[in-house]
Amino acid sequence: MTERHHEGLIYTMVLASAADSDMSTTEVATISDMVKMMPVFHDLDETDISHVSEACADMLNSEDGLDDVLDFIADTVPKKLHETAYAIACDVVAADLAASQEELRLLEMLRHRLGLERLVAAAIERGSRARHVVV
């Protein structure tokens, strides 16, 4: 059974990927890589990812979907993982090497919902940009 914080983090990644209405192959690969490599996911049963992702997509498609998903993330991700949640969202957005206006707006909404200070968010964004830059 997936733990609540895992669900919230997966919802965060799915939301970031879906922000521009296009879940690219690069974004999906980035999500997969993060789940395999990040310590916060070490005890996640990877077979639960598709089920949780589908539940997020269903919630997003409901009448107040975006607000409901943001509330779910804020309610299930512990405060000590709020910066981690924002960082994984930034990494998913940065995976395509260009952020759309919709993705940038989503990051702003997520930052506010998680209560992150602007300077903290800017540092996380800068780190994501540095990790995904190509020559």
Distance of CA 53 to the CA centre of its chain: 11
- Write down the pLDDT at residue 28: 85
- For tokens 């707006």, the residue is 105
Q: Are 30 and 14 in contact (CB under 8 A)?
A: no
Interaxial angle between packed helices 101-114 and 4-18, expressed in degrees from 0 to 180 and rounded to the nearest 10 = 150
- Write down the pLDDT at residue 131: 86
The token duo for 118 is 């602007």
- Write down the pLDDT at residue 98: 81
Instruction: Check whether 78 has a pLDDT greater than 90.
Output: yes
Exposed, middle or buried, 15 (CB in 10 Å: 0-12/13-18/19+)? buried
Would you call 101 helix, strand, or coil by DSSP? helix
Position 95, amino acid:
A
pTM of the model: 0.92
CB atoms within 10 A of CB 51: 13
Q: All domains of the chain, ordered by start, with CATH?
A: 4-132 (1.10.3680)
Split at pLDDT 50, 70, 90, the class of 79 is very high
